[in-house]
Amino acid sequence: MTDKAQLEILIIDDNKVDREAIRRALKGLGYGERAVIHDADSGRGGLEFIARRNVDCVFLDYRLPDMDGLALLKQLYDPKTDLAKSPIVMLTGQGSEAVMLEALRWGAQDYLLKDNITPAALNIALKKAQELFELKQNRRLAEEQLHHMRKLEAVGQLTSGIAHDFNNLLTVVLGNLHLLKEKVEAKPDKIDPEYVLKKIHTMETVARNGADLIKRLMVFTRQRPLQHQVVNVNDCIRNALEILKRSLGETIEIEMKPAKEPWPVLIDPEEFGNVLINMAVNARDAMPKGGRLTIATQNMAIEASREIKAGNYTLVTVSDTGTGMTPEVAQRIFEPFFTTKPAGEGTGLGLSMAYGFVKQSNGHISVESRENAGTTFRIYLPRAETSPEAKTAPAHGRREKNAG
Ligand SMILES: Nc1ncnc2c1ncn2[C@@H]1O[C@H](COP(=O)(O)OP(=O)(O)OP(=O)(O)O)[C@@H](O)[C@H]1O
Ligand SMILES: [Mg+2]
Span from the CA of 351 to the centroid of ligand 2 (angstroms): 6
Report the atom number in ligand 1 closest to the C-alpha of 334.
Answer: 18
Q: Is 291 in the pocket of ligand 1 (CB under 6 A)?
A: no
* CATH classification of the domain holding 319: 3.30.565.10
Say how far apart CA 179 and CA 175 lie, in whole Å.
6
Predicted local distance difference test score (pLDDT) of residue 395: 36
Give the confidence band of 394 by pLDDT, cuts at 50, 70, 90: very low
Which of 141, 175, 193 delimits the end of a domain? 141
- Nearest partner of 361 among 376, 380, 345, 347, judged by Cα: 380
Give the confidence band of 390 by pLDDT, cuts at 50, 70, 90: very low
Span from the CA of 171 to the centroid of ligand 2 (angstroms): 25
Four-residue CA torsion sign, 389, 395, 398, 403: negative
% the chain with pLDDT above 70: 87
Predicted local distance difference test score (pLDDT) of residue 99: 87
Single-letter amino acid code for the residue at 75? Q
Please state the domain count of the chain: 3
Residue range 212-270, pLDDT digits in tens: 777 766 665 655 456 789 999 999 999 888 878 877 888 999 999 999 999 999 999 98
Residue 396: inside a domain: no
Q: Are strands 229-231 and 265-267 parallel, antiparallel or unpaired?
A: antiparallel
Please check whether residues 170 and 110 belong to one and the same domain. Answer: no
Please check whether residues 372 and 241 belong to one and the same domain. Answer: yes
Residue range 259-283, pLDDT digits in tens: 999 999 999 998 898 899 889 999 9
Mutate to test the pocket of ligand 1, among 289, 292, 319, 333 (most ligand atoms within 8 A of CB): 333
Please check whether residues 109 and 37 belong to one and the same domain. Answer: yes
- Give the range of the structural domain holding residue 216, as residue numbers without chain letter: 147-221
% the chain with pLDDT above 90: 53
Say how far apart CA 222 and CA 216 lie, in whole Å.
10
Give the confidence band of 161 by pLDDT, cuts at 50, 70, 90: low
What is the separation of C-alpha 387 from the centre of its chain, rounded to a whole number of angstroms? 22
Please check whether residues 104 and 171 belong to one and the same domain. Answer: no
Q: Is 333 in the pocket of ligand 1 (CB under 6 A)?
A: yes
Residue range 80-96, pLDDT digits in tens: 788 898 999 999 877 67
Predicted local distance difference test score (pLDDT) of residue 357: 87
Say how far apart CA 193 and CA 171 lie, in whole Å.
23
Q: Is the pLDDT of residue 152 over 70?
A: no
Residue 208: exposure state from Cβ atoms within 10 A (0-12, 13-18, ≥19): exposed
Residue range 338-350, pLDDT digits in tens: 899 887 677 788 8
Ligand that comes closest to the CA of residue 348: 1
Strands (E), 150-260: 229-231, 252-257
